[in-house]
Structure 1
Amino acid sequence: MAVKLASASGGEAPPPRHVAIIMDGNGRWAKKRLLPRVAGHRQGVEAVRRVARAARSFGIEVLTLYAFSSENWRRPEEEVGALMGLLRQFLERELDQIVADGVKLRVIGGWRELSPDLVTMIEAAIARTAVNTGPTLVLALNYGAQAELLAAARRLAEQARDGTLDPAAIDEARFESELETAGLPPLDLMIRTSGEQRLSNFLLWQAAYAELLFVDTLWPDFDERALADALAQFGRRQRRFGGL
């Protein structure tokens, strides 16, 4: 059942089609409780389960989660290993439910550079959900927006060099077709938890006209109510896209 949102004009507004979340605050959640950082990441996985279910019930078509950035490799090796282990567990334990719920899984970023066993698991998960016609869950793994933009520019440059593309034909739509989010609805709402107020190299092109919402809630505490509050705030925004 889709959530009903009040619009800025006082009427009823539909939920955003595409929501992205920068899931921040796992480490601080653990530190507040005198727990190791991995405990915060474990609770963060639980938040993923809750929010993915809530997004589906609210009628959100696409939920994109910043699961592991290309910069996260700079973290201690032990923490990176724990994060990869949690990803394996998530795929092992949640895939059957994802399939049963009709959710299509999509992964963006340099995920093919992960360990071979993880790549195999991700490929199998994508294949199993490919025929699903429900909402889409997008996991950004080893993702960086600047690298995505550079790769798209290189592909277009190569096509122009080879004579298969007229440079004059490169417009916004053509450029977007080379991005990893090609075919998805435009990004409507980007949420960042934990109080930080920056995009951290996430969906930079796609966020051009997205509504940005920064909330103080740490990611492990983010739940259905928090998502409903975020959607209510989105409903009160006036989206002009440069017009009046």
Structure 2
Amino acid sequence: MRADSHTVLSQVQFLGDLELIYETCNKLPYTLADHSPRTYNELGEELVKAFEKNHPPFAKSRETLKKRLKEYGGHAHRILETCQKNSLAGLEEYKLLEQAFSEVYSLKNGGAIEVKDKIKRKMVSPHDPDAKLGKRGEKINPGYQATSCETIPGKNETPFIITCRLNTADRPDHEALYEIAKDAKEKIGANKLNVDMGYTSAKEIVRCERIGVEIVRPCEARHQREGGFPKEGL
């Protein structure tokens, strides 16, 4: 049985909204359990278990997804109100849930909670609130957590982390290869880099070759025009 693309896309949209509300609702009670046990107890065990029962928040039909999304809206609103009453609106987890709630739901007269007809979420994930969805024609440079590891030469042991830093990228992935290769060449004498698909361009590969760094990038033949080469060539 086949489904039309509109139905499939709308189900994916609802599932994404469900996951967002579920995650933000689920994060806050755990924080309250440590930060304010009284508020946590006020929410009640039944509310906390409502999320455990419904995870993962998946359903086969669009109608069921929307019904569950509305149900989560009631839970979210109750959590937000309870936190406000107990002067806990300054918690980061509260702010995340408040933002997610405002993007997905609208409050009607009398306090009724409705799922918005057109949901335009800005928050992609509560785990990375600054992450953004890319749109055609829009240039978004993500941030990266860079972790450096070391191992003891000649010993098969788990590497240990020596540094960890968060950098905001100033260029998209496919324009960063040369700078990475140049840095690796200067610091550790690297002359070859294995690069996954989507992280290169013909321009970057040529620049790397000029400083003596070979780029190994397996890809299908139809991608050769983007600067790659067939797997058979490896």
Q: Which bracket does the TM-score occupy, shorter chain normalised?
A: under 0.3
TM-score using structure 1 length:
0.24
TM-score using structure 2 length:
0.25
Which structure: larger Rg?
2
